[in-house]
Structure 1
Amino acid sequence: MIPRYSRPEMVAIWSPESKFRIWYEIEAHACDAMADIGVIPRENADAVWKAKDVEFDVVRIDEIEAVTKHDVIAFLTHLAEHVGSDEARFVHQGMTSSDVLDTCFNVQLVRAADILIADMDLLLAALKRRAIEHKDTVRVGRSHGIHAEPTTMGLTFARFYAEMDRNLTRLRTARDEVATGAISGAVGTFANIDPAVEEHVCGKLGLSPEPISTQVIPRDRHAAFFAALGVVASSIENVATEVRHMQRTEVLEGAEFFSAGQKGSSAMPHKKNPVLTENLTGLARTVRMAVIPAMENVTLWHERDISHSSVERAIGPDATITLDFALHRLTGVIDKMLIFPDNMMDNMNKFPGLVMSQRVLLALTQAGVSREDAYAMVQRNALKVWEERTDFQEELLGDADVVAALGADEIKEKFDMAYHTKHVDTIFKRVFG
């Protein structure tokens, strides 16, 4: 992922230096375990730890790989340069490259998930704070982009909180899904290495041994991981789209914070565009690009082919780095978002009273009018408001059939805004406890 959409902590997980450090730890811990069970001499295992403070030379490893055409062999050759070829002769004994590559990849995914989980915690805190702040800030709810009935801005924030809270659960599940390692040899049978080595290495790295592997860890785990990231990205886009709609000139119920010195357009100085949430919409697409390839990686030939490798080298860093950036950006948007309650009421009253149509409909049916007749009575008055920009309550009060069924006082009572917000506290208790 390009630096523009990257944050240092997540990028560091995917750096060559970090990767080679994990490879080293896998090999060193494996040597320890083999020494413990008497497979290799203890002094050789101890010698490997001479490199524990070494900064592995990425350029040198690349030089070796240019000759060997094999990244793990290149690393092992470089490791032997540090610890001595004789001392290193038992390194990687009974192992295959995927024991190192797959276990390392899962360590990286787990560490990435930990950052994403922390990101989500911060986003949830921001959404909760804004939900409580605007619990009673009334705005019009919309379906199909058209005014429906009153709701509150607090409920809007609360539903996004609930969605992201579900995503937090998904991220934790995804983390657990990939928190496995395999040190099981060429086809997963432990023919040349004791299962105790796998248990030791996984324990040291915070992983669980994969119950059954081939040459690789099963890729359904990774498919589930990246699918979870795709869902989180879609939720980010969901929130971003709402903010973008709210910032439209004709709506202007909320807006991204516009900082001092910020410019909106190179051509039009008046512009204040929702650039952050537009950016988030695009970043969500980038994260979702990883989902289908990850699912296609599930299918491998027999005990393993290498078709998954190039995909994972790309989607591992790109999806996690992008999602980390997107979560951080969305948290900033929510934290500083401007809310315009007066505009919310102006929009609510653009067609005065229309949002109360269902309540009048129900009152008429409860008064004994058939639903078909009640609907026709309400709709004819509502359409007049649409066409002539009159007041819905006044139209109803001028309709003899409606007045005969309900009376003027009951008609007026049906326009009480508090009716629509009376259960907000109940909903908040469900969401926030």
Structure 2
Amino acid sequence: MSVSIFDSFLTTPEMIAAFDDAAIVGAMFRYEAALARAQAEEGVIPHAAASAIAGVCKADLYDIPALIHAGRRAGSLAIPLVKELTRTVALYDEEAARHVHWGSTSQDVIDTALVLATRAALQLLDDELAELGVHLAALAEQHLATPVLARTLMQPAQVTSFGFKAVGWLAPLVRARAALRATAAQALQLQLGGAVGTLSVMKEQGAAVAARVAQQLGLKVADAAWHTQRDEWVRLGMEVAVLTGSLGKLATDLSLMAQGEIAELAEPSGNGRGGSSAMPHKRNPVSSMIALAASRRTPQHAAALLACMDQQHERGLGNWQAELAEWPPLFLSAHGALHALNDAFAGLTVDRERMLRNIAALQGLVFAESASSYLAGAIGRPAAHALLEGLTRRVTSEGRPLDALLADAVKADPQLAAHVDLQQLATLFDPVAALEPARRLAASQLDALRQRMAELDTTHPFHEADDA
């Protein structure tokens, strides 16, 4: 598969290779070889024919660009591929050539090839997800007690823990990794139905042949041909899209926190990364840029898959072909975003002091709710609310911090002074004390996430089967 220079910026060479021409054609030949061997084992074709067929099911024996060119005219890549395979087998055994692709159809070989390519692609995603999970878990652990501003509606809200924020980035990725595996367990299945999905040519041996082909390729045996039943397959595509959306959210937060005016985080720099020839003071968040660009493209591909589900009768006209074209870009974007974010978090700079300065710049206003709740116990909620409302206006007009104004108000009011502990009140304006609820919650959630990550690391569902 060729991609434009602009596409290549948003993905990785490894994911391009997973869906390139050689990978797809090679997977098609693997299917044909497995089909022939399975049919021989079930007595559908002679063993000698299966050996002759499997012996030339090697992509490097064929002119792949010529096959692709011919496929455009034929309406399916499978047609010229089977024709060339038949011709090649006939060079050695004319009788064996009669049994090539026996009882199968074009969609069988193409769908199965795409399933095999997708399994390799899922392994790439799983590896990157595992790596990013390690980075984020370590970041969260290190910063459980690091105060940072939480922001809602793009405005400063209250103090939270940076570790809590990192756990919020990690959690959907752990869920995505598990969901991809669970969905793939259903979707990575053999396609083998013959002309109209009934395996009629193979008669009673059809089911047994399908079981043998699936075993050779390491795929699930489908309940029946899914030529136009695309629900499980499209559901897998949707999980990839959801993953990419979660990566876009992470990249959004990272890029906002890396803005010069905020400067709480910074992506790695140096060796030409993220620089500007005209503005040397800039430290551009290149990884965030790639992840955001990749995630922005994903909804259109996901929507196209859904739009292609209304396939006609037993074989789709146009919609299946469109689905094939829309499938690889989902994985290209997801892997590009994952790889970019792994680069970022492998060398992320966290500026704790800047986080504290950004909190301090708000002059105590982010602690107003805690102070109001404490005062409500002394003078009642209405009075506490009215007092804090007036004092917050003075913070803005006078430029004095809220904690100082509140301490003065307590000292000046005998009723307040009798019920308010100034030392306890001061702790409400301590960023480290304020983050404690977030720290406790993040620590508990992080333990659970790490346990789930360890469980996922013990299995490797996308490893290639040995179908030689």
Residue number in structure 1 paired with 2:13: 8
One-letter code aligned to 1:231 = V
Residue number in structure 2 paired with 1:411: 425
- Cα deviation for residue 90 of structure 1 reads 0.8
One-letter code aligned to 2:225 = S
CA distance in 1, matches of 2:70, 2:275: 50
Report if the CA contact (8 A) 2:9-2:290 is conserved.
no
CA distance in 2, matches of 1:68, 1:381: 78
Residue number in structure 1 paired with 2:96: 87
- TM alignment of 1:133-172, pairs within 5 A: 133-172=142-181
CA distance in 2, matches of 1:350, 1:331: 32
One-letter code aligned to 2:322 = V
Render the CA deviation track for 1:25-63: whole Å, top value 9, x for unaligned.
212221222222222222111111221455132134246
Residue number in structure 2 paired with 1:229: 240
- Cα deviation for residue 165 of structure 1 reads 0.8
Residue number in structure 2 paired with 1:315: 326
**For structure 1, which runs of at least 5 residues remain unmatched after alignment?**
none
Residue number in structure 2 paired with 1:304: 315
1:274 and 2:285 correspond: yes
Residue number in structure 1 paired with 2:214: 202
CA distance in 2, matches of 1:249, 1:343: 11
- Cα deviation for residue 415 of structure 1 reads 2.6
**For structure 2, which runs of at least 5 residues remain unmatched after alignment?**
449-468
CA distance in 2, matches of 1:260, 1:68: 49
Q: 1:293 aligns with which of 296, 304, 307?
A: 304
Residue number in structure 1 paired with 2:138: 129
Residue number in structure 2 paired with 1:213: 225
- Cα deviation for residue 127 of structure 1 reads 0.7
Residue number in structure 2 paired with 1:110: 119
CA distance in 2, matches of 1:63, 1:272: 45
Residue number in structure 2 paired with 1:45: 50
Name whichever of 232-241 and 57-66 sits farther off.
57-66
Render the CA deviation track for 1:366-398: whole Å, top value 9, x for unaligned.
22x332222111121122113332111111122
Name whichever of 117-126 and 419-428 sits farther off.
419-428
- Cα deviation for residue 292 of structure 1 reads 0.6
Where 1:208 maps in the other structure, the secondary structure is coil
Render the CA deviation track for 1:207-245: whole Å, top value 9, x for unaligned.
11211335x162112221121111111111111111111
Render the CA deviation track for 1:301-320: whole Å, top value 9, x for unaligned.
11121323332332222221
Render the CA deviation track for 1:91-119: whole Å, top value 9, x for unaligned.
11211111111122222222211211111
Residue number in structure 2 paired with 1:384: 394
User: Aligned in 2, Cα 1:140/1:30: closer, same or farther, shift over 3 Å?
Assistant: same
Report if the CA contact (8 A) 2:241-2:298 is conserved.
yes
Report if the CA contact (8 A) 2:308-2:319 is conserved.
yes
One-letter code aligned to 1:47 = A
| Higher RCO, 1 vs 2 (CA within 8 Å, ≥6 residues apart) | 2
Render the CA deviation track for 1:119-154: whole Å, top value 9, x for unaligned.
100110111121222222221222222222222222
User: Aligned in 2, Cα 1:351/1:322: closer, same or farther, shift over 3 Å?
Assistant: closer
One-letter code aligned to 1:297 = C
Report if the CA contact (8 A) 2:36-2:54 is conserved.
no
1:432 and 2:437 correspond: no
User: Aligned in 2, Cα 1:235/1:184: closer, same or farther, shift over 3 Å?
Assistant: same
User: Aligned in 2, Cα 1:80/1:129: closer, same or farther, shift over 3 Å?
Assistant: same
Residue number in structure 1 paired with 2:404: 394
Render the CA deviation track for 1:345-384: whole Å, top value 9, x for unaligned.
11111122222212211112222x3322221111211221
One-letter code aligned to 1:111 = A
Name whichever of 48-57 and 124-133 sits farther off.
48-57
Q: 2:372 aligns with which of 344, 361, 365?
A: 361
- Cα deviation for residue 258 of structure 1 reads 1.7
Report if the CA contact (8 A) 1:226-1:290 is conserved.
no
Where 2:52 maps in the other structure, the secondary structure is helix
- Cα deviation for residue 5 of structure 1 reads 2.9
CA distance in 1, matches of 2:172, 2:273: 31
Where 1:304 maps in the other structure, the secondary structure is coil
CA distance in 2, matches of 1:140, 1:54: 56
User: Aligned in 2, Cα 1:120/1:370: closer, same or farther, shift over 3 Å?
Assistant: same
User: Number of residues paired by the alignment?
Assistant: 431
Residue number in structure 1 paired with 2:189: 180
The Cα RMSD (Å) is 2.1
CA distance in 1, matches of 2:122, 2:273: 33
CA distance in 1, matches of 2:74, 2:321: 18
Name whichever of 116-125 and 242-251 sits farther off.
242-251
CA distance in 1, matches of 2:209, 2:396: 75
- TM-score, normalization by structure 2: 0.86
Report if the CA contact (8 A) 1:264-1:271 is conserved.
yes
One-letter code aligned to 2:395 = V
Where 1:290 maps in the other structure, the secondary structure is helix
- TM-score, normalization by structure 1: 0.93
- Cα deviation for residue 68 of structure 1 reads 4.3
User: Aligned in 2, Cα 1:179/1:217: closer, same or farther, shift over 3 Å?
Assistant: farther
- Cα deviation for residue 275 of structure 1 reads 3.0
Where 2:95 maps in the other structure, the secondary structure is coil
